[in-house]
A and B are shown apart, each in its own frame.
Chain A
């Protein structure tokens, strides 16, 4: 048999059926919020291929989101390219950033890797601010065309692409390549001794993960019709890390749920208090202490309890 249907896939498909139906009952504002939720979910799943599965904590993944968003926006708005060429430009930009930063930062692991990715991401942020003619500097790029132009229609474009990529991630971690990721995460020295090319595996995971973020960014730019450099700032990299941990880094489902609900936690926190970062901080701290495997981890524990395991 080519693959086994497991609980995680059932949960993902159930969730996606829900996500296909729910916009019919939501206001435009909420469909828009849910669209961002899908993109955050996609970003968290991509980030988690590197973090949860390959064991590398990147603190600079905002650079891939912005490589995608800026690449597409520059192509469409500044260079007047057609959509296909703009997408190609965004992919080329992402690939270049991923290969160069990956090659340079993957010489190290753990905190050194995190710091290097942070440094490269800030470098990209500085470039975006400085290259005013191309990127619009701190004003960003406005008037990015959207197709389909209504939010309701665009939601389903996002939905289809996110669905495919999330299922692809679920698939990849079940192939030999994904098993290699996990081996490198658990014990890179042993993996090397068994003949696995650890640096290559890490680079593949890094680039793959970068492409997930880039595609999320590429879908985000038209959704918002405008982009500003804050999507390249380090705080956005931190948000990507936080939402993955909130959902649970153990599997694809956890990361996706983390990204999906993060936008709601964030908006609710902002409505409740102006100290929304504090609220977010408390939620995160509680989760790390009480539920190291995130929200999905809590569900699993409850399920096991109910089944009497």
Chain B
């Protein structure tokens, strides 16, 4: 497989300072099609900042970000989140980020209508686009939101909000999904459900994932690659089993607060 076909996202030597804090220090990564890359590390390790750099919410001080589109490598460094979204990079947020005043259905409709560039139309009701409605049904089914589709965002449980947050991004048919702590605040069974969901999303549409996590146990099983960050730097970036073996990591991370 050629490089361009194999890879979907690349970051090279990213740096970000917030004042004196070197929040992201020389981070490079390459994400393959259908790969699940998990990034773990303690609080303040720079995981969320890295996601923000990749999705364009924060601009890097140094380094480049590329996406691969139809075999071409495209530089997206410094582009707006709006632009990057349309290139197929979706993301979810640590604190679920949904529309509280809209029903679950309308939340998903909004996402699809925006993606299909129908959002400025005012000659038809927003619920009257048949192909959009079909897609909404599919998303509701994939995310098992059938029981809550007519409830408002503000009426949902934490777990449902998390799912809807990811559903909003997934509805835009991304090639890459950046998930920020998708299992935080969930019960153990909800965590298992979320892991299963991520797997099924990959199966469904060959989406690649970067999953930021606090909990190593959650991601060890589901990940193809694992990156450990600490104080902005990459301590390890390898297959999960290899990473766990590394003593450096065990002392800095596993030995620290997890075990």
Binding site for B on A (CB under 8 A): 1-4, 171-172, 174-180, 182-183, 185-187, 189-197, 204
Q: Which of A172, A182, A183, A193 contacts B81 (CB 8 A)?
A: A193
In B64-97, which residues have CB < 8 Å from any A CB? 81-82, 85-86, 91, 93, 97
> Would you mind naming 30 contact pairs between A and B with Cβ atoms under 8 Å apart?
A2-B128, A174-B125, A175-B121, A175-B122, A175-B123, A175-B124, A176-B118, A176-B119, A176-B120, A177-B121, A178-B122, A179-B106, A179-B109, A179-B126, A180-B119, A185-B101, A186-B99, A186-B102, A190-B93, A191-B110, A192-B82, A193-B55, A194-B114, A194-B115, A195-B114, A195-B115, A196-B82, A196-B114, A197-B82, A204-B120
B125: which A residues are within 8 A, CB to CB? 2-4, 174-175
B98 at the interface (CB under 8 A from A): yes
- Do B86 and A195 have beta carbons less than 8 Å apart? yes
Q: Which of A3, A185, A194, A204 contacts B111 (CB 8 A)?
A: A194
B91: which A residues are within 8 A, CB to CB? 193
B186 at the interface (CB under 8 A from A): no
CB of B33, distance to nearest CB on chain A (Å): 22
Number of interface residues of B (CB under 8 A): 36
Q: A183-B110, A186-B100, A187-B100 are in contact. List 11 more A-B contacts (CB 8 A).
A: A4-B125, A172-B122, A175-B122, A175-B125, A176-B122, A177-B121, A179-B110, A180-B110, A187-B99, A190-B98, A194-B114
| Cα distance, A2 to B122, chains bound together (Å) | 12
B57 at the interface (CB under 8 A from A): yes
CB of B182, distance to nearest CB on chain A (Å): 16
Q: Which 9 A-B pairs have the closest CB atoms?
A: A186-B99, A175-B122, A177-B122, A195-B85, A190-B97, A186-B101, A179-B126, A176-B126, A3-B125
CB of B31, distance to nearest CB on chain A (Å): 19
Binding site for A on B (CB under 8 A): 55, 57, 81-82, 85-86, 91, 93, 97-102, 106, 109-111, 113-115, 118-128, 153, 168-169, 172
| Cα distance, A196 to B119, chains bound together (Å) | 8
- Do B120 and A180 have beta carbons less than 8 Å apart? yes
- Do B122 and A194 have beta carbons less than 8 Å apart? no
A178: which B residues are within 8 A, CB to CB? 122, 126
A195: which B residues are within 8 A, CB to CB? 82, 85-86, 114-115, 172
B115: which A residues are within 8 A, CB to CB? 194-195
| Cα distance, A274 to B105, chains bound together (Å) | 51
A1: which B residues are within 8 A, CB to CB? 128
A193: which B residues are within 8 A, CB to CB? 55, 57, 81-82, 85, 91, 97
| Cα distance, A197 to B93, chains bound together (Å) | 19
CB of A197, distance to nearest CB on chain B (Å): 7
| Cα distance, A178 to B102, chains bound together (Å) | 12
- Do B121 and A194 have beta carbons less than 8 Å apart? no
- Do B97 and A175 have beta carbons less than 8 Å apart? no
